[in-house]
């Protein structure tokens, strides 16, 4: 039996993002948060598990929340191995508050008609010991996403999601797309995604991975067939394209590649 794994944001969901640049206090709308994080090898993306609607009610510094709620966030992307203790130590003097995240949430809602709020996150520069950006992300399904998943279910193909997004938003997406919750791996970083593919290869004769950015690169390379989708329209490094078996411009093209 064969199986297929999907990333979420930028792959099955057209991602929109509102970021606050903490150095300028400006709000910018940029989807390529991985690209921003990749500008410094000591940058990390930290994702909050707590839904944004609850975070924006908090009236406190973010570092104070991180200290006493370690289960409420995860490092979803980094180029090096960092821990939550590294984050807490680095941000001891940082004054960013949840009011800053609230600004991004309101800006996102005012600008876009989103179907899914993927949650809120931060890009942290651990070498400079500061939060560089806070942001809230959301999106809409690409036009053919639901069509594709219905076809896969009709063909009785096991479908999995491995994404850096938080548990709350992925459960909602899984419900809409009729994916069992046990097939969803949330807050899954680059190494986690590779492990998911490797584990599934022990259960299935053929595993396909569909992703859209460098945090999917190891899983795309590990899979029996690695598919890179460029439908989000972000600038991607050449080595990611070179390590992909297929590059597609529309999620529906997955059906043309799979030999089921």
pTM of this structure: 0.86
pLDDT reported for residue 259: 64
* pLDDT value of position 79: 92
- What's the confidence (pLDDT) of residue 75? 95
- What does the alpha-carbon distance between residue 44 and residue 131 come to, in Å, rounded to a whole number? 10
Q: What is the pLDDT along the chain (260 residues), one digit of tens a residue?
A: 899 999 998 999 999 999 999 999 999 999 899 999 999 999 999 999 999 999 999 999 999 999 999 999 999 999 999 999 999 999 999 999 999 999 999 999 999 989 999 999 999 999 999 999 999 999 999 999 999 999 999 999 999 999 988 898 999 999 999 999 999 999 999 999 999 999 999 999 999 999 999 999 999 999 999 999 999 998 888 989 998 999 999 999 999 998 64
Domain parsing of the chain, residue ranges: 2-13+141-257, 15-139
- What average pLDDT does the structure give for the chain? 95
Is CATH 3.40.50.1000 the right assignment for the domain spanning 2-13+141-257?
Answer: yes
The pLDDT > 70 percentage for the chain reads 99
């Amino acid at each position: 039996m064969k199986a297929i794994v999907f990333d979420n944001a930028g792959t099955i969901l057209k991602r929109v993002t509102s970021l606050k640049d903490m150095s300028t206090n400006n709000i910018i709308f940029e989807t390529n948060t991985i690209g921003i994080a990749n500008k410094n090898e000591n940058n990390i993306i930290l994702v909050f598990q707590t839904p944004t609607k609850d975070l924006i009610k908090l009236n406190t510094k973010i570092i104070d929340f991180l200290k006493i709620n370690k289960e409420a966030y995860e490092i979803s992307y980094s180029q090096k191995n960092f821990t939550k203790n590294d984050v807490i130590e680095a941000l001891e003097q940082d004054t960013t508050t949840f009011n800053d995240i609230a600004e991004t949430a309101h800006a996102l809602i005012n600008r876009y008609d989103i179907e899914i709020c993927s949650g809120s996150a931060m890009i942290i520069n651990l070498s400079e010991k500061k939060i560089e950006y806070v942001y809230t992300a959301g999106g809409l399904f690409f036009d053919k996403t639901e069509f594709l998943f219905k076809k896969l279910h009709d063909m009785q193909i096991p479908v999995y999601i491995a994404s850096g997004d938080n548990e709350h938003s992925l459960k909602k997406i899984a419900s809409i797309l009729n994916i069992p919750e046990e097939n969803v791996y949330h807050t899954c970083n680059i190494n986690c995604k590779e492990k998911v593919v490797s584990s599934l290869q022990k259960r299935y004769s053929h595993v396909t991975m569909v992703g859209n950015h460098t945090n999917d690169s190891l899983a795309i390379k590990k899979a029996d067939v690695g598919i890179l989708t460029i439908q989000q329209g972000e600038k991607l490094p050449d080595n990611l394209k070179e390590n992909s078996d297929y590059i597609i411009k529309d999620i529906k093209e997955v059906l043309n590649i799979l030999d089921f």
